[in-house]
Amino acid sequence: MEAVSKILGIQTFKEMKKPFVYITGASAGFGKACAEIFAKEGYSLVITGRRNERLAELAESIKADHNVEVVTSCYDVRNESEVKEAVAALPDDVKSNISILINNAGLAVGRGPIDEGLTDDWDRMIDTNVKGLLYVSKAVIPFIKAFDGHRQIINIGSLAGKEVYPGGNVYCASKHAVDALTKGMRLDLLPYNVKVSQIAPGMAETEFSMVRFKGNQDKADAAYEGYDPLLAEDIAEIALFLVTRPAHVNINDIVITPTAQANSVTIKKN
């Protein structure tokens, strides 16, 4: 088909532009940085999150800077029917050109002893980090499997999915689930040549701690004081690196921490 197109001087979609990267949680932090770096490389984007104004602003600024398509899709990953409807509502030429899914939307809510934990916080973490990732994956994977070209899923796990630290209980459990689901997806999608990777970051300065500490700026700032934490751009660069390996290479898992962090609880502060 491509050879015929060349002879006739017809450009196929693949020749004209790069496919779509579908990014959850693109209204802030890692997801926003991923949107920016992939657009710079010429990928079109589906960017999702609950804050539509943020998504619209990001879409406008990316479109002004790069010659790519950006589709915004506003929904809550915890709501299965919203997820299904939002994915189904994408234009057909977008759905049929989704090549890469970045499952990034997630959060921690609260940090403290398990017996003092609030069940509402637990629900928010499990519903977002585990069930939300599953709902989005179920809706988007059929398009990735059907895409004629590079197929990849990147799950944003955490160092908290590799070890458990005091007060991290349910957040750590949710990210251990992401670690297991990444391995499960890699096995189940092997027949379809879908690369499945995980990025597991340590401390990175984003809105994460403001969400975790429920708007307490002092507590959020304290999380990043006395050392240089990772930046959202560091994670986006890794995501792009994973996607730009040769066809025969899949990087399964990357654990990335600030240089000052040796494990979840050991940070060298000034």
Binding site for ligand 8X3 (CB under 6 A): 158-160, 168, 202-203, 264
Question: What CA–CA distance (Å, rounded) separates 208 from 69?
Answer: 28
Nearer Cβ to ligand NDP, position 147 or 182? 182
- Give the residues across from 256 on adjacent strands: 201
Token couple for 102: 């970045």
Q: Maximum CA pair distance of the chain?
A: 69
Q: Shortest distance, CB of residue 26 to ligand NDP, whole angstroms?
A: 6
Question: What CA–CA distance (Å, rounded) separates 41 from 70?
Answer: 13
- Is there a contact between 125 and 108 (Cβ–Cβ < 8 Å)? yes
Question: What CA–CA distance (Å, rounded) separates 95 from 266?
Answer: 44
Of the candidates 131, 139, 105, 137, the one whose C-alpha atom is nearest the C-alpha of residue 34 is 105
Which residue type, as a one-letter code, is found at position 56?
Answer: A
Binding-site partner at residue 253 among ligand NDP, ligand 8X3, none, CB < 5 to 8 Å by type: none
Q: Identify whether 135 is a catalytic site residue.
A: no
Catalytic residue among 43, 75, 135, 171: 171
Nearer Cβ to ligand NDP, position 147 or 206? 206
**Chain residues in the site for ligand NDP (CB under 6 A):** 25-31, 49-51, 54, 76-78, 104-107, 128, 132, 156, 158, 201, 203-204, 206-208, 211
Q: Shortest distance, CB of residue 81 to ligand 8X3, whole angstroms?
A: 28
Q: Shortest distance, CB of residue 182 to ligand 8X3, whole angstroms?
A: 15
Query: Residues with catalytic annotation?
Result: 171
